[in-house]
């Protein structure tokens, strides 16, 4: 266990609430709380029993003034979140009362915790690895129930276990290569080029299997970016309101009403979707509307999915075809809105794979749109996968590891000496170690935890 100063922070959002929680971690946690806590009889207690609530008061250690009525719990090292002695103070919610108690904790000897420092200590003290630590912030930021389930799998160490197993097998291969190359005259167990190639191929397939879940996993973690685009007055804002079940966007018959980007999150059967209602795309001399049109084009380029809305009661016009050309090969669904009106539009010979007829006003066809989105981006029963890799850092490390393994296998198959192939295999082992934090630099580790909230 590493030696650290004792730290403290508020672990709940500041504001009006019934309870706020202040967390203290470090070898002086008990010393700090003993200076400022008195029991229900307003006298110091003999000792804190681990994993039990203690009722009492926080006092000003300089003048014994009672500051708040609290419950205090003590988690004895190493059976705590950080694997250090941890004390949690449950005080009354509210900015003033919480900060009064926190300031007293600082006066008693703790220092303010940095962003993510509690979770960082859990990692440095060996209670969790880096991928599990990153899952903590994913749980906090999760937007749907499926997002939480995916993050929980990672926090329980499923990805770490899979990656650790591959690294151990790689280590065995490297050890046999070392013996074969350095001690050919000894009576030891050797390996052949054919055996190395076969074993590496198995590991490549294992990494490919993990990477095959990355599309779904990344969407669950970050949300699917979906842009509603089309000419003015085709029903984009009405569609947004229908999807959100609220009047989020202003709807009028006046072209150009939506001039700025409106972004909201939508939950489709547990899949988080960041839906963007863009300004109607058309040629205009209005300076403000023109800015909105430019932003709409930018959102098309950024989106994972473009939903191109057309008025099915009108024939295709030049502006429609220009928008379709600008969307290009991006994943798209064409919506034929106003299905209650006579159909005049013709999509033949446009090569459109996904299209749905809807009425944004009545809501008909909305369920078909949702099902179309799921079918494009998610395999059936994708949540039943053992692990969904979702973090871009993990995905990149797996891809680099796979590339190194393939290069190593190619070198072996080409008859190049095993020790040179071993360089590629060792690189793959190192890349995989970046996922769990075994081979990651201290600066990158600091950067990862700096993105956490203070108090976690």
Last residue of a domain, one of 84, 102, 129: 129
What pLDDT is recorded for position 281? 63
Same domain assignment for residues 36 and 14:
yes
Cβ contact 246:264 at 8 Å = no
Distance CA 103, CA 60 (A): 10
Identify whether 453 is part of a domain: no
Same domain assignment for residues 235 and 350:
yes
Distance CA 1, CA 181 (A): 38
Same domain assignment for residues 293 and 370:
yes
- 205-240 per-position pLDDT tens digit: 999 999 988 888 888 888 888 888 888 777 777 888
Which H or E run contains 79? Answer: none
Instruction: Output the domain CATH number for residue 70.
Output: 3.30.1360.120
Distance CA 145, CA 152 (A): 11
Same domain assignment for residues 100 and 177:
no
Identify whether 326 is part of a domain: yes
- 355-405 per-position pLDDT tens digit: 888 887 777 888 888 888 888 887 766 666 667 888 999 999 999 999 999
Distance CA 390, CA 272 (A): 13
Identify whether 37 is part of a domain: yes
Q: Could you tell me the mean pLDDT of each successive run of 10 residues in the chain, 456 residues long? A: 82 88 96 92 82 93 91 94 95 92 95 93 92 90 84 88 93 82 54 84 94 85 85 79 64 43 79 79 55 70 85 81 83 83 72 80 83 80 70 94 94 85 92 91 85 84
Q: Give the strand pairing for 66-75 and 7-10.
A: unpaired
What pLDDT is recorded for position 2? 58
Instruction: Output the domain CATH number for residue 150.
Output: 1.20.120.430
Residue 332 Cα distances to 9, 245, 351, 355, 432, angstroms: 46, 23, 11, 9, 35
Identify whether 58 is part of a domain: yes
Instruction: Output the domain CATH number for residue 372.
Output: 3.40.50.300
Same domain assignment for residues 94 and 165:
no
Same domain assignment for residues 235 and 338:
yes
Same domain assignment for residues 276 and 305:
yes
Q: Where are the beta strands (DSSP E) in 60-184?
A: 66-75, 86-92, 111-112
Same domain assignment for residues 249 and 339:
yes
What pLDDT is recorded for position 91? 94
Same domain assignment for residues 350 and 300:
yes
What pLDDT is recorded for position 111? 94
Q: Which residues of 412-443 are buried (b: 16+ CB within 10 A; e: fewer)?
A: beeeeebeebbebbbbbbbbbbbbbbeebeee
Same domain assignment for residues 373 and 392:
no
Cβ contact 271:215 at 8 Å = no
Q: How far is CA 204 from the centre of its chain?
A: 25
Identify whether 219 is part of a domain: no
Which of these, 418, 445, 436, lies nearest to 196 by C-alpha position?
A: 418
Identify whether 117 is part of a domain: yes
- Give bridge partners of residue 267 from the DSSP assignment: 272
Distance CA 314, CA 86 (A): 67
What pLDDT is recorded for position 84? 95
What pLDDT is recorded for position 40? 82
Number of separate domains in the chain: 3
**Joined tokens for residue 384:** 């039943």
Identify whether 338 is part of a domain: yes
Helices 193-211 and 418-436, packing angle to 10 deg:
30
Same domain assignment for residues 29 and 88:
yes
Last residue of a domain, one of 129, 151, 166: 129
Q: Which residues of 54-90 are buried (b: 16+ CB within 10 A; e: fewer)?
A: bebbbbeeeeeeebbebebbbbebeebbbbbbbbbbb
What pLDDT is recorded for position 166? 94
Identify whether 239 is part of a domain: yes
Sheet arrangement for strand 271-277: 262-268, 271-277, 224-229, 305-311, 332-337, 355-357
Same domain assignment for residues 362 and 396:
no
Question: Tell me, what DSSP letter sits at residue 236?
Answer: H
Domain of 283 in residue numbering reads as 225-377
């Amino acid at each position: 266990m590493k030696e650290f100063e004792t730290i403290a922070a508020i672990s709940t959002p500041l504001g009006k609430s019934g309870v706020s929680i202040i967390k203290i971690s470090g070898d002086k946690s008990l010393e700090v709380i003993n200076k400022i806590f008195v029991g229900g009889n307003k006298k110091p207690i003999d000792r804190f029993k681990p994993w039990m609530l203690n009722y009492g008061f926080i006092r000003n250690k300089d003048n014994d003034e009672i500051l708040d009525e609290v419950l205090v719990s003590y988690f004895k090292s190493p059976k705590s979140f950080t694997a250090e002695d941890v004390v949690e103070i449950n005080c009354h919610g509210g900015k003033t009362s919480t900060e009064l108690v926190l300031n007293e904790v600082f006066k008693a000897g703790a220092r303010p915790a940095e962003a993510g420092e509690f979770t960082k200590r859990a990692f440095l003290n060996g209670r969790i690895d880096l991928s599990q630590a990153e899952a903590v912030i994913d749980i906090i930021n999760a937007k749907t129930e499926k997002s939480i389930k995916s993050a929980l799998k990672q926090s329980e160490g499923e990805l770490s276990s899979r990656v650790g197993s591959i690294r151990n097998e790689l280590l065995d291969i490297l050890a046999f290569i070392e013996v074969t190359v350095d001690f050919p005259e000894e009576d030891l167990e050797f390996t052949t080029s054919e055996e190395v190639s076969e074993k590496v191929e198995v590991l490549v397939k294992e990494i490919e299997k993990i990477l095959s879940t990355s599309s779904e996993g990344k969407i669950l973690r970050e949300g699917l970016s979906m842009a509603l685009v089309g000419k003015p007055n085709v029903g984009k804002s009405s569609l947004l309101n229908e999807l959100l079940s609220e009047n989020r966007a202003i709807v009028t018959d006046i072209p150009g009403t939506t001039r700025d980007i409106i972004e909201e999150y939508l939950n489709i059967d547990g899949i988080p979707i960041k839906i963007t209602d863009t300004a109607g795309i058309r040629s205009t001399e209005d300076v403000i509307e023109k800015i909105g049109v430019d932003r709409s084009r930018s959102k098309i380029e950024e989106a994972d999915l473009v939903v191109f809305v057309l008025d099915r009661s009108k024939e295709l016009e030049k502006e429609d075809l220009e928008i379709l050309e600008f969307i290009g090969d991006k994943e798209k669904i064409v919506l034929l809105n106003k299905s209650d009106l006579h159909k005049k539009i013709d999509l033949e010979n446009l090569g459109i794979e996904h299209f749905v007829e809807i009425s944004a006003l009545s809501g008909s066809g909305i369920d078909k749109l949702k099902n179309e989105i799921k079918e494009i981006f998610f395999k059936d029963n994708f949540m039943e996968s053992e692990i969904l890799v979702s973090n871009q850092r993990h995905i990149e490390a797996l891809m680099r590891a796979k590339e190194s393994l393939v290069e190593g296998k190619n070198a072996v198959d080409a008859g190049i000496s095993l020790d040179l192939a071993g360089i590629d295999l060792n690189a793959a082992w190192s890349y995989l170690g970046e996922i769990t934090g075994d081979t990651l630099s201290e600066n990158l580790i600091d950067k990862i935890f700096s993105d956490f909230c203070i108090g976690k």
